[in-house]
């Protein structure tokens, strides 16, 4: 085998892979579904792999060196010189003991690297109009498929055999994204778990985007990476709301800040968190889960950025990957969008937070139910957590907004079914109110406004999270 200095490491990896495909049956069953012949740059090694894979498929056993040489000799696509080189390589594939986990990890990385490289080469060829079969529209999918290469061959949980794993999970603290709002932590038992879809329901102007901007800000302050996808407002408008929240400045006064003061506030903020916040805008009703998947892969590849929570503002103005060119009813469309977004949350192991509009009958109502979900009852069927934001004149006077649980897979939704949080619309913030404010919420969803309650709420409205004042 001819080893070039710049390919020495790669050739060693390839040789190690071929060697263990001959001797290690456990390794074979783990990796063989994911290795492609084209991953082998050396043509002789590619032929060896093809014969190994062919033998395994036919006989469900590893091929020996002797068998490989016999089968390769029968091929009509190699000459005498090539055959001699192949025999030399196969003969050198003697058994060597290596750490199994290291071997699998190294093989997976090699597969990913080769898949990405080949995808880039193919994309360049298409971009240069050198591929007659594919046009440039195929490039995103080619790159996305390459980035998605992963050794996932899990075939399910064996109930009786895997009881120890279950027991461990029962006693393992679940990783969650906590809120900075007391009652939201109560109803979620500590925050939002990964692989979930969480939806807020509200009318226009009630506070859907404000809620998501506030939560995005609080997660960033936890030192976590945040991706905010907007289709309703421009990237700059979302960033403006987050500025108001994090810099503790009224949104109308941001433009009046001197540049040096603004820069100093941003510098101080950057010292308070190790997280990053990316805001990405898509035109209304033009983007679907496939676009978001491509974005996530691009961010991982180009910026080494992997979000720990994703905000999508908002669900109803997404489109469905399944029904892009089809005419379907609103129920099917919205349900499909919700299912695709939840699938994305599972795929990237993050919670997704989104929002939806109320129906006309729900807009301005002092009480909202699942029947007030705009366009589709299929959405609450898919969501893990769904709650309504309710605003009334009485609540607005006291800088309050009511939250009503509509669906909750994390906790009993009848506990703390309704509660209030403070709202500072000028600074795009939510905040905790004193317990007495919660005690005065009636079952109907109305706030009992007696003289003592007004006093409590008025005092509570002054407590507006000044912890992050710069």
**Residue 280, token pair as written in the block:** 């990405």
Query: Would you call 252 exposed, middle or buried from its count of C-beta atoms within 10 A (0-12, 13-18, 19+)?
Result: exposed
The pLDDT of residue 324: 61
**The predicted structure's pLDDT at residue 377:** 63
Secondary structure of residue 71 in the 3-state scheme: helix
pLDDT in tens, the chain (470 residues): 343 333 433 447 899 999 999 988 888 888 888 899 999 998 999 999 999 999 988 888 888 899 999 999 998 888 999 999 999 999 988 888 788 888 888 899 899 899 999 999 989 988 888 877 788 778 887 887 787 777 765 667 788 888 888 888 788 777 899 999 999 999 999 999 999 999 998 888 888 899 999 999 999 999 999 999 998 888 999 999 999 999 999 999 999 999 999 999 999 999 999 999 999 998 887 788 888 988 998 888 788 899 999 999 878 888 887 766 556 667 778 888 888 899 899 888 999 999 988 754 444 556 676 666 655 566 777 889 999 998 888 888 889 999 999 999 999 988 899 999 999 999 999 999 888 778 767 544 444 444 444 344 344 444 434 444 44
Residue 403 is given by DSSP the state E
Q: Which of 339, 372, 378, 337 is nearest to 357 (CA)?
A: 372
Strands 192-193 and 277-281: unpaired
pLDDT at 155: 63
Residue recorded with tokens 């491509």: 294
From CA 449, how far away is CA 456, in angstroms rounded? 10
Q: How buried is 237 (Cβ within 10 angstroms: 0-12 exposed, 13-18 middle, 19+ buried)?
A: middle
Spatial contact of 217 and 392, defined as CB atoms under 8 Å apart: no
CA distance 385 to 421: 18
Give all domains of the chain, ordered by start, each with its CATH number. 5-147 (1.10.860.10), 176-468 (3.40.50.300)
Give CA–CA dist 388/421, Å, rounded. 13
| Predicted pLDDT of residue 7 | 40
Structure tokens belonging to residue 257: 């800040």
Instruction: Look up tokens 């941001």; give the residue.
Output: 254
CA angle, corner 386, sides to 382 and 392, nearest 5?
Answer: 145
pLDDT at 283: 87
Q: Specify which residues 386 forms β-bridges with.
A: 199, 407
How far is 292 from 337, CA to CA, in rounded Å? 12
């Amino acid at each position: 085998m001819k080893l070039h200095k710049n390919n020495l490491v790669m050739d060693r990896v390839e040789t190690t892979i071929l060697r263990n495909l001959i001797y290690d049956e456990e390794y074979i069953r783990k990796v063989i579904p994911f290795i492609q012949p084209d991953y082998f740059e050396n043509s002789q090694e590619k032929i060896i792999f093809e014969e190994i894979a062919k033998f395994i498929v036919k006989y469900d056993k590893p091929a020996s060196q002797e068998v490989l040489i016999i089968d390769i000799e029968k091929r009509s696509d190699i000459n005498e010189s090539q055959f001699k080189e192949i025999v030399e390589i196969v003969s050198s594939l003697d058994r060597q003991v290596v750490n199994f986990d290291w071997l699998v990890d190294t093989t997976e990385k090699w597969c990913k690297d080769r898949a990405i490289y080949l995808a880039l080469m193919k994309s360049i060829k298409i971009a240069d109009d050198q591929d007659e079969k594919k046009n440039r529209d195929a490039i995103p999918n080619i790159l996305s498929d390459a980035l998605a290469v992963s050794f996932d061959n899990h075939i399910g949980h064996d109930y009786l055999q895997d009881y120890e794993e279950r027991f461990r999970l029962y006693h393992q603290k679940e990783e969650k994204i906590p809120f900075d709002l007391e009652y939201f932590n109560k109803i979620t038992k500590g925050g939002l778990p990964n692989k979930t879809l969480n939806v807020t329901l509200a009318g226009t102007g009630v506070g859907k985007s404000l809620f998501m901007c506030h939560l995005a800000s609080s997660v960033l302050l936890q030192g976590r990476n945040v991706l905010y996808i907007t289709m309703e407002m421009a990237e700059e408008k979302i960033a403006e709301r987050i500025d108001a929240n994090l810099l503790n400045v009224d949104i109308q006064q941001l433009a009046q800040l001197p540049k040096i003061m603004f820069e100093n506030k941003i510098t101080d903020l950057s010292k308070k968190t190790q997280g990053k916040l990316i805001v990405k805008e898509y035109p209304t009703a033009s983007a679907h889960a496939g676009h978001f998947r491509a974005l996530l892969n691009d961010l991982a590849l180009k910026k080494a950025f992997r979000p720990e929570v994703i905000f999508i503002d908002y669900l109803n103005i997404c489109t469905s990957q399944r029904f892009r060119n089809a005419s379907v009813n609103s129920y099917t469309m919205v349900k499909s969008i919700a299912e695709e977004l939840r699938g994305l949350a599972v795929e990237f192991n993050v919670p997704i937070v989104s929002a939806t509009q109320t129906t006309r009958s729900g807009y301005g109502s002092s009480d909202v139910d699942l029947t007030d979900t705009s366009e589709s009852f299929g959405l609450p069927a898919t969501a893990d957590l769904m709650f309504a934001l309710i605003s009334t004149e009485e609540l607005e006077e006291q800088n309050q907004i009511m939250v009503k649980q509509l669906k909750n897979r994390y906790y009993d939704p009848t506990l703390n079914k309704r509660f209030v949080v403070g709202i500072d619309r000028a600074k795009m913030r939510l905040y905790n109110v004193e317990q007495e404010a919660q005690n005065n919420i009636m079952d109907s969803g109305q706030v009992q406004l007696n003289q003592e309650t007004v006093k409590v709420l008025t005092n509570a409205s002054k407590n507006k999270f000044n912890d992050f004042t710069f």
